[in-house]
């Protein structure tokens, strides 16, 4: 897996990601302490609102920022967003009102919504070999999991030496270091995208994403991930302290079990994905998430939840979550042209985070208004629905090369080189993705854009 770090450009970008993630982890701890200083017992409500603002920024601002960012060189954009995030982190210790926290969080997450999809779209162009890209995705997953374990420990050490305001300084340093590392490498120029109106540019990624069957299946997998993750993040403290009667230190241990499960999956997946398709890995993982939440529901309802059982269950949920999140970039990259990848990654970023606007309130409000068993049951139902719908939406024979017919292209168009005359146009087969020339997915051997009949046979290849 570490062999991809020999690539200088990727090595610098991975280091930038890891350092920025560490800074983000420090900011998460510091923000919770700041919220308590400003709101006291209402700190939870402040953090909940800030989290909702974060998700709304990801859902609404991301595609707009990405459409505008196509006019800016990638390195310039990434460095500018890092600097913007550093400025916000530097300003947070000086806020005196809750509304100021909300404004700064909005700016911070808007910058992240522009940075992350652009960063994700660059990696498959730097590492075009599928095996290398898969290793890079696993390393990225490990970076996220290590951040969830390393940052709280680092925060605890720093808090023993200074006030929490200094954690924001660490965040600022992390973002600035990320900007320096990004600036130190040359990034490939994006392929020119076909221009439409402003609205068409903004929604291009959504239209591409929702028109691709495997990406619709991927979106459902992320609903299962959101259900499990929300239960873990929101209710671990309740389950550990209120239900099991254990101390605050065990909250970190339980969250660590979830992170270790995810890390284990990230380490094992590069080898597994050489023998299995993405669908064969991700759909069973969604079923595991649904089953795990159902087991949690039964244990809570029967008063049978034990500490060892919670740790084991959290590790299983973490592994299944990692099995879905790690290959996600492979599917998105394989489903878009290089020119459309930034828009596709932005749509993935926005839509997948949109599920949390459902999952977080379900996990928090139902646990508070009823009990954790009711929240776990509702989330288990969400994950089960996602897994079943994914089986139906994501085709079993998810082939990359599809036959289709073009009825509107000029026969002299370079795209039709090697095509054969058909009754109403020209038919050919190639690696099929949604783009300006292919606006609809062929169904049962039917056409791309005009829904006319094409040869029914497909050449079966592994997608991913």
Do 385 and 250 lie in one domain? The reply is: yes
The secondary structure of the chain, three-state, reads CHHHHHCHHHHHHHHHHHHHHHHHHHHHHHHHHHHHHHHHHHHHHHHHHHHHHHHHHHHHHHHHHHHHHCCCCHHHHHHHHHHHHHHHHHHHHHCCCHHHHHHHHHHHHHHHHHHHHHHHHHHHHHCCCHHHHHHHHHHHHHHHHHHHHHHHHHHHHHHHHCCCHHHHHHHHHHHHHHHHHHHCCCCCCCCCCCCCCHHHHHHHHHHHHHHCHHHHHHHHHHHHHHHHHHHHHHHHHHHHHHHCCCCCHHHHHHHHHHHHHHHHHHHHHHHHCCCCCHHHHHHHHHHHHHHHHHHHHHHHHCCCCCHHHHHHHHHHHHHHHHHHHCCHHHHHHHCCCCCCHHHHHHHHHHHHHHCHHHHHHHHHHHHHHCCHHHHHHHHHHHHHHHHHHHHHHCCCCCCCEEEEEECCCCCCCHHHCCCEEECCEEEEEEECCCECCECCCCCCCECCCCCCECCCCCECCCCC
pTM for the structure as a whole:
0.73
Do 95 and 244 lie in one domain? The reply is: no
Do 379 and 410 lie in one domain? The reply is: no
Do 287 and 320 lie in one domain? The reply is: yes
Tens-binned pLDDT, residue by residue, of the chain (464 aa):
567 788 888 899 889 888 888 887 777 667 767 776 777 656 556 666 777 787 787 777 766 666 666 677 888 888 999 999 999 999 988 888 888 888 888 888 888 878 887 887 788 888 888 778 777 877 777 777 666 666 666 766 777 777 778 888 888 998 999 999 999 988 877 655 555 555 556 677 778 888 888 899 999 999 999 999 888 887 887 888 788 888 766 777 787 788 888 888 888 888 888 888 889 999 999 999 999 999 999 999 988 899 999 999 999 999 999 999 888 888 888 888 877 777 787 788 778 888 888 888 888 778 877 888 998 999 999 999 999 999 999 988 877 777 888 877 777 888 888 888 877 788 887 877 877 777 777 765 444 444 333 333 333 333 33
* 197 within a domain of the structure (yes/no): no
Do 209 and 97 lie in one domain? The reply is: no
* 348 within a domain of the structure (yes/no): yes
Report the domain count for the chain.
Answer: 3
Give the structural domain span for 164: 1-190
Of 395, 421, 450, the last residue of a domain is 395
Do 149 and 48 lie in one domain? The reply is: yes
Of 379, 395, 411, the last residue of a domain is 395
Of 346, 377, 395, the last residue of a domain is 395
* 361 within a domain of the structure (yes/no): yes
CATH number at residue 264: 1.20.1250.20
Do 5 and 104 lie in one domain? The reply is: yes
Do 47 and 118 lie in one domain? The reply is: yes
């Amino acid at each position: 897996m570490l062999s991809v770090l020999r690539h200088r450009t990727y090595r610098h970008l991975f280091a930038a990601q890891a350092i920025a993630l560490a800074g983000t982890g420090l900011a998460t701890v510091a923000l919770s302490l700041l919220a308590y200083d400003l709101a006291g017992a209402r700190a939870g409500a402040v953090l909940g609102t800030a989290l909702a603002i974060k998700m709304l920024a990801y859902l609404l601002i991301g595609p707009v920022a990405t459409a505008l960012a196509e006019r800016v060189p990638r390195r310039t954009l990434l460095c500018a967003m890092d600097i913007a995030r550093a400025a916000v982190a530097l300003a947070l210790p000086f806020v005196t009102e809750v509304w100021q926290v909300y404004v700064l969080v909005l700016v911070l997450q808007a910058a992240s919504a522009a940075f992350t999809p652009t960063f994700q779209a660059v990696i498959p162009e730097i590492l075009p070999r599928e095996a290398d890209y898969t290793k890079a995705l696993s390393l990225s997953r490990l970076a996220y999991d290590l951040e969830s374990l390393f940052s709280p420990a680092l925060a605890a050490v720093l808090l023993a030496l200074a006030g929490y305001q200094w954690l924001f300084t660490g965040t600022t340093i992390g973002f600035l270091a990320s900007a320096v590392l990004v600036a130190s490498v040359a990034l490939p120029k994006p392929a020119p995208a076909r221009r439409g109106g402003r609205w068409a540019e903004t929604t291009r990624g959504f239209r591409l994403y929702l028109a691709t069957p495997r990406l619709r299946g991927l979106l459902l997998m992320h609903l299962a991930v959101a259900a499990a993750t929300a239960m873990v993040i929101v209710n671990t403290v309740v389950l550990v302290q209120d239900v099991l009667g254990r101390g605050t230190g065990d909250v970190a241990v339980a969250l660590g079990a979830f992170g270790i499960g995810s890390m284990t999956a990230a380490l094992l997946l590069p080898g597994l994905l050489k023998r299995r398709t993405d669908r064969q890995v991700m759909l069973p993982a969604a079923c595991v998430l649904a089953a795990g939440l159902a087991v949690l529901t039964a244990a809570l309802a029967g008063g049978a939840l034990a500490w060892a059982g919670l740790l084991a269950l959290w590790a299983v949920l973490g592994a299944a979550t990692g099995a879905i999140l790690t290959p996600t970039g492979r599917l998105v990259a394989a489903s878009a042209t290089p020119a459309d990848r930034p828009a596709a990654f932005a749509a993935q970023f926005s839509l997948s985070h949109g599920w949390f606007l459902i999952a977080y309130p379900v996990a928090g409000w139902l646990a508070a208004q009823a009990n954790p068993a009711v929240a776990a049951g509702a989330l288990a139902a969400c994950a089960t629905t996602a897994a079943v719908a994914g089986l139906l939406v994501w085709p079993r024979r998810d082939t990359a090369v599809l036959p289709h017919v073009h009825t509107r292209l000029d026969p002299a168009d370079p795209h039709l080189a090697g095509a054969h005359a058909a009754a109403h146009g020209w038919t050919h087969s190639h690696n099929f993705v949604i783009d300006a020339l292919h606006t609809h997915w062929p169904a049962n051997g039917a056409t791309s854009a005009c829904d006319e009949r094409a040869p029914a046979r497909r050449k079966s290849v592994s997608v991913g």
